[in-house]
Amino acid sequence: MEIESVRCECCGLKEDCTQDYINDVKAKFDGKWLCGLCSEAVRDEVSRSKKKQFGVEEAVEAHMSFCGKFRSNPAVRVADGMRQLLRRSGDNSPSSSKKLTRSATTKLY
């Protein structure tokens, strides 16, 4: 089994996959390879819009358009989000200005 690196056509995330898996995903999504997160988003869009007869092709195009607005490495976006979260939580906590020290009752043996 040969492993290939493939890039999601929506968000740009790279994954290492077998050729069989790549072909299977492409068959499900109109010839486009989508990462797991994007494929779940497309499936969700299709299942939620059955009344509108929103097909896979339209859902893939809509999701690709959405991802294009925020096109950057997904790992970088997660890291940026965590950095902002930590920065906010550190700024708002009353203990952020206090130094951490050992209590007087701590004994080291």
Please give the DSSP secondary-structure letter assigned to residue 79. H
| DSSP string covering 48-67 | HTGGGT--HHHHHHHHHHHH
User: Mean pLDDT across the stretch 17-31?
Assistant: 93
pTM: 0.57
| Residue 17: CB atoms within 10 Å | 17
3-state secondary structure 30-48: CCCCCCHHHHHHHHHHHHH
Read off the pLDDT of residues 49-96 as tens digits, 9 standing for 90 and up: 766 667 888 888 888 887 776 665 666 666 666 777 777 776 555 554
pLDDT at site 22: 94
Confidence tier at 107 by pLDDT (50, 70, 90): low
Task: List the chain domain ranges.
Answer: 3-87
pLDDT at site 100: 47
Cα 87 to the center of its chain, rounded Å = 21
Rg (CA), the chain: 22
Report the interhelical angle of 36-48 vs 56-69 (nearest 10°): 130
Read off the pLDDT of residues 36-51 as tens digits, 9 standing for 90 and up: 888 988 888 888 776 6
